[in-house]
Amino acid sequence: MKIAIDIDEVLTDTFSEVLKFYNSKKGTSFKKEDMHDYRMWISFPCKREEIEGSLKEMISKNLIENYCPIEGAIKSVDLLNKRNNILFITARPENQKFQTFNWFDKHIPKLKNKVRFSQDHFSEKGATKSEICQKEKISLIVEDSPSDALDCGKSGIKVILFDKPWNKSISHPNITRVSGWKEALEVIDSIKKTTNQ
């Protein structure tokens, strides 16, 4: 089976790190569990430019490559890679490519060449995740973004959606919500059995 996997909040604990950095700079106490939208400037009383500024500073200090993997992510990817064709699709901006590849060098070096960059949430330039999935003939994506999950689901792609505070309101027949990697692997196995892939 051809499977796409998102990076932020699926492989890495991204928002915890970004918020920790932002809070230390601004003296705020924003928490990931309070995010009703994955765009932090909508979830919290702050400006988009401030969040983008913090991200740029994190990039300049190479902090992005130090994001912690989500529990079970690396082991799960290794298991999936043995029996499937894996591709990572991220909506990270182009200016995070270097740090993204460095993160893969540290955690999943053999799959570094399987990373694709889709339309990002800042510039909205480039192909969407659903367009990349269709081009690459990917039948399932592991995702947390509500907009990307819904777009993929409506395009006929099966979605394993990591349950997050910012995606509670979405549902679609092609979307299966999971609590983490253990449950995600079970759902993927079930989908493979029913589709003979």
Write phi, then psi, for 175 (nearest 5 degrees).
-105, 125
Residue 60 has a pLDDT of: 86
Residue 197 has a pLDDT of: 62
**pLDDT tens digits for the chain (197 residues)?**
999 999 999 999 999 999 999 999 999 999 999 999 988 999 999 999 998 889 889 988 888 899 999 999 999 999 999 999 999 999 988 888 999 999 999 999 999 899 999 977 656 677 999 999 999 999 999 999 999 999 999 999 999 999 999 999 999 999 999 999 999 999 999 998 887 66
**CB distance 58 to 69 below 8 Å:** no
Write out the DSSP string of 75-142.
HHHHHHHHHSEEEEEE---GGGHHHHHHHHHHH-GGGGGGEEE---TTT--S--HHHHHHHTT--EEE
**CB distance 166 to 33 below 8 Å:** no
Phi-psi label, residue 195: left if phi above 0, alpha if psi -120 to 50, beta otherwise: alpha
